Amino acid sequence: MSAVLLDITQLNAGYGDMPVLRDVSMNIRAAEIVAMVGSNGAGKTTMLRALSRLIPSRGHISFNGQSLAGATADEVFAMGLVQVPEGRQLFDHMSVEENLQMGAYKRRDQTGVKEDLNRVYRLFPALAERPHQLAGSLSGGEQQMCAMARALMARPRLMMVDEMSLGLAPVVVDLLLETMTQIRSQGVTVLLVEQDVHAALSVADRAYVMETGNIVREGTAKELKNDPEVQRAYLGETA
Ligand SMILES: Nc1ncnc2c1ncn2[C@@H]1O[C@H](COP(=O)(O)OP(=O)(O)OP(=O)(O)O)[C@@H](O)[C@H]1O
Ligand SMILES: [Mg+2]
């Protein structure tokens, strides 16, 4: 088995006095696709914000063997922990290519940046066809591609994708999931945060289920697909 890339132990985080995450422990090995699923308000985005150091947290996080205690958002980004935020958060008035360049704004290796631009255009041909189009005028699926491509321009070790499938047609979701497996085959580890449990379990190796800030289930994607409780609560099947 490959080495553990991200290791979280007893992570607690919230907003002001309100706790959201309660003693969350999970890990991700290099080159895995791991899904974190759960309903509205379970705390999934809060977990990503804590990992990206956008909100304070208690507990232990180690990434690539290094503790993130005391690390700033900029530092964890530079270490390769990169988020594709919920709602995509593109720069709407900038072109596709300008958005992609923003992902690489910390990098000084111009040759590598050029190579990566070609690589993301190969992964997302729809973006290659419209590098000068304003991001705000892209379709929902194209916007999601642009957000993922922008994250890849930072050369992430771990790409954390929040609600990739939200508002997209099933055929577009399938295309993005297929691209996700290609991204993994290029050596990027993926954390997929999803309300669409069907979609997430179709590509993930392993998954965690979060309910009200707690991890209530974990296992291989296959184990969770066959878990009667998961089927009842998340897959719309009557057990
Ligand atoms: N900025 C904030 N200030 C205060 N409370 C917040 C803030 N953001 C989220 N919360 C609360 O934290 C809890 C967890 O929210 P979070 O966004 O992490 O859930 P989620 O699992 O990502 O949900 P969804 O699937 O709807 O995206 C919710 O009760 C939410 O209302
Ligand atoms: Mg969320």
Report the alpha-carbon distance of residue 133 to residue 125 in Å, rounded. 14
- Take atom 25 of ligand 1 and give the residue whose Cα is closest: 40
Rounded distance from Cα 211 to ligand 1 centre (Å): 12
Q: Whole-prediction pTM value?
A: 0.94
Beta bridge partners of 193: 36, 162
The predicted structure's pLDDT at residue 236: 79
161 and 239 in a single domain? The answer is: yes
14 and 130 in a single domain? The answer is: no
Rounded distance from Cα 195 to ligand 2 centre (Å): 8
168 and 203 in a single domain? The answer is: yes
The predicted structure's pLDDT at residue 237: 65
Residue 216 belongs to domain spanning = 1-80+157-239
41 lines ligand 1 (CB under 6 A): yes
CATH of the domain at 212: 3.40.50.300
The predicted structure's pLDDT at residue 238: 55
Which ligand 1 atom sits closest to the C-alpha of 210? 21
97 and 167 in a single domain? The answer is: no
Average pLDDT over residues 65-93: 94
How are strands ordered across the β-sheet holding 4-15? 18-29, 4-15, 57-63, 66-67
150 and 162 in a single domain? The answer is: no
Rounded distance from Cα 100 to ligand 2 centre (Å): 23
The predicted structure's pLDDT at residue 239: 44
Average pLDDT over residues 152-181: 96
Q: What proportion of the chain, given as a percentage, has pLDDT over 90?
A: 88
Which ligand 1 atom sits closest to the C-alpha of 47? 18
Report the alpha-carbon distance of residue 180 to residue 37 in Å, rounded. 17
Which one of the ligands is nearest to 196 CA? Answer: 1
205 and 189 in a single domain? The answer is: yes
pLDDT band of residue 106 (cuts 50, 70, 90) is confident
Average pLDDT over residues 182-201: 95
Counted domains in the chain: 2
- Take atom 18 of ligand 1 and give the residue whose Cα is closest: 43
Round the average pLDDT of the chain to a whole number and report it.
Answer: 94
142 and 172 in a single domain? The answer is: no
The predicted structure's pLDDT at residue 107: 83
Rounded distance from Cα 37 to ligand 2 centre (Å): 10
9 and 44 in a single domain? The answer is: yes
- Take atom 16 of ligand 1 and give the residue whose Cα is closest: 43
Pocket test for ligand 1, best of 17, 18, 36, 45 (most atoms within 8 A of CB): 45
Closest by CA to 120, choosing from 154, 86, 84, 168, is 154
- Residue 58: pLDDT over 60: yes
pLDDT band of residue 234 (cuts 50, 70, 90) is confident
Which ligand 1 atom sits closest to the C-alpha of 163? 27
Last residue of a domain, one of 105, 140, 155: 155
164 and 151 in a single domain? The answer is: no
239 and 162 in a single domain? The answer is: yes
58 and 161 in a single domain? The answer is: yes
Average pLDDT over residues 147-171: 96
Please name the residue that has the structure tokens 């991001």.
135
